[in-house]
Structure 1
Amino acid sequence: MRKENFFFYYILISLSILYIAFKNNDSIINRILILGIIVFFGMAIWDHFYEIKELIQVKSKIRKVNFENILLILGTTFAASITWHINHTLGYGHIIANGIVGIFVGLLFSKQKAGAFYIASFVGMSGEKIVSSMFMAGLIGLFAGFVIIFSKEVYDGIGGKGGTIAALSTQIVRLLMGLFI
């Protein structure tokens, strides 16, 4: 997938999530807040568009499957599953579960891999109504790993990318599961 396409899909998916949140909310205060978020998102996209445009190379590179990417995908799968297990099965809560996984991946892996695994552990912090099982957390973590690989250069160094990837991965997998189950 070309970087330009990923940026475009990121904008479309983010706007669709905000639209669904706006449409399904009956409270006028919540709708005003969501409209404010949409305006802020639009201003941020407009502000960063030209900066990101310079970072995105027009040439499309074919990404080779390598062991680093396989390790990253497996690690994100396990990080999300383990966080969910510590959170729900062992009952330690979402913050402690995320902290435990964060400490272990920070000590055992490089900065880049630890960051990716920590992002995936955000998935395991979700409530049981959102992510209903450890298998589902692992599936979402797997999807998050792919999103992390394809979005390495997009918004590099900008805050909020990890939470956005976790939320985006969760919503897309839940949508796909809803279509087939």
Structure 2
Amino acid sequence: MIVGSLYIVGLAGALIAFILNNNFKMGIVVGSALPSLVFALLVMVFAPYLPITLATEAPVIFYGAAFIGMASNKILSSYLLIGIAGFLFTFIYLFTSPYFEGFGGALGTTAALCFLPVWSISLLKKK
């Protein structure tokens, strides 16, 4: 149940940032940082009522998945593929985060590695 919620968080983080960036023209920084801040503050407020795993992992997953939402709709315009990339980010984060302990840039690198396969799928669909 909790792990399923984390996958939804990753999917939502990528989609919300993508929509704010492209549809509402907020730009990549504000479109990613603003929803991440709001989500983190909401989790802090409700942390006493949330399971500890959700309270500690969800903000990191949302923030990392929001990096995927920084993509331009000129490069990838499919909401479905952006959502899949956010879902994939959560999967990779949950299984590899212990190995990246102490390394800087792990969230951004993981987000880029999750974006590349879905972008490749979109390129293959066009051809």
TM-score when normalising by structure 2: 0.81
Q: Distance in 2 between matches of 1:169 and 1:111?
A: 22
Does 2:92 correspond to 1:158? Answer: no
Give the alignment partner of residue 106 of structure 1, picking from 40, 49, 54. Answer: 40
List structure 1 runs of 4+ shifted beyond 3 angstroms: 176-181
Distance 1:146 1:140 in 2: 10
Show structure 1 runs of 5+ residues with no match: 1-66
Give the equivalent residue in structure 2 for 1:85.
19
Higher fraction of helix: 2
Aligned mates of 2:60, 2:31 — CA distance in 1: 16
Deviates more, 1:147-156 or 1:125-134: 125-134
Query: Size of the alignment, in residue pairs?
Result: 115
2:64 pairs with 1:130:
no
Superposition deviation, residue 77 in structure 1: 0.2
Query: RMSD between aligned alpha carbons?
Result: 1.6
Task: Look up the match of 1:22.
Answer: none
Larger radius of gyration: 1
* Higher deviation after alignment, 117-126 or 91-100: 91-100
How many Å separate the matches in 1 of 2:102 and 2:58? 15
Percent identity of equivalent pairs: 27
